[in-house]
Amino acid sequence: MAAIRDYKTALDFTKSLPRPDGLSVQELMDSKIRGGLTYNDFLILPGLVDFASSEVSLQTKLTRNITLNIPLVSSPMDTVTESEMATFMALLGGIGFIHHNCTPEDQADMVRRVKNYENGFINNPIVISPTTTVGEAKSMKEKYGFAGFPVTTDGKRNAKLVGVITSRDIQFVEDNSLLVQDVMTKNPVTGAQGITLSEGNEILKKIKKGRLLVVDEKGNLVSMLSRTDLMKNQNYPLASKSANTKQLLCGASIGTMDADKERLRLLVKAGLDVVILDSSQGNSIFELNMLKWVKESFPGLEVIAGNVVTREQAANLIAAGADGLRIGMGTGS
């Protein structure tokens, strides 16, 4: 029977062992020593935890200028990512790339839905006029998925604000021929142009209303804040957002043909943050030319190029201006 060692010498004993448990990353990846590896060859061993879980950060660079809070991205496949998937990927800290197996208009509409899901200041709110009918307002609610429309004298932004129409105003109205001016909420609570986002959110908390309309000194509508967005901020603190607009980040894919240029113009107009040049072999003259055109035409748009599996492929795309790369070529390519 082995002698019982003094517990005080436990650390010294482990130092005397010929090697620690497991292998270092360098040893694992040394193909000269042990050949190739598969996922089943890996087992992560537990170690000493000397930090709190709240200190852990999973922030990951997606491109040169976009950082995600979690390292998860959904693929631009028609069975994977459309507006709903892209929205929830962004809410949870990742990002979704909307596929291009559809018309350019449909793809741009999906991007627009993601971008409109959450806002800071809504600088281009959908506005209606006092003479819009209740039926038209209900149709707009179905089209856009919400019913908080500011009402201005001529139905345009930067015109005098006269009221707001909400779901409560039209929910039980059966006569769709009635005019909005007959059922709208008049004299809504407003904020003065120039207030900060945090100041506006504080007003929203106090007034307990669904939205705060921001007007200039003449009472003209300038922008809007939504209580729904404030709640989303609380429920999804890690959401991937644009630093400028506070809208959710959204990606999309395009091909490498000339026809894809007009598609990209529509996507950028819809608010696209990052585009994937979707090709099974990224190191082609078609992708290189498209990449250069995108960077020249839309210098503020982040571009992910690929797919690549070699250093030479990667170098060509990086030199052409790629902000990120898609790595890996499999049977699906």
Q: Give the pLDDT score at 333.
A: 46
Write down the pLDDT at residue 41: 78
- Of all residues in the chain, the percent with pLDDT exceeding 70 is 97
Burial class (CB in 10 A: 0-12, 13-18, 19+), 245: middle
Residue with tokens 């201005």: 152
Q: Maximum distance among all alpha carbons in the chain?
A: 96
pLDDT tens profile 280-294: 899 999 999 999 999
Q: What are the chain's domains?
A: 56-118+242-327 (3.20.20.70), 134-235 (3.10.580.10)
**pLDDT tens digits, one per residue of 297-310:** 999 999 999 999 99
CA angle (153 as vertex; 152, 154 as ends), nearest 5? 95
Is pLDDT larger for residue 331 or for residue 100?
Answer: 100
The tokens for 233 are: 């901020």
Q: Which residue has the higher pLDDT, 252 or 14?
A: 252
Report the sign of the C-alpha dihedral through residues 243, 244, 248, 250, in that order. Answer: negative
- Rounded to the nearest angstrom, the gap between the alpha carbon of residue 31 and the centroid of all alpha carbons in its chain is 39
pLDDT digits 0-9 by tens, 179-215 = 999 999 999 999 999 998 889 889 988 888 888 999 9
* Structure token digits, residue 292: 């250069």
**Parallel, antiparallel or unpaired: strands 302-308 and 274-277:** parallel
pTM beyond 0.85: the answer is no
Weakest-pLDDT range from 17-31, 122-136, 206-220: 17-31
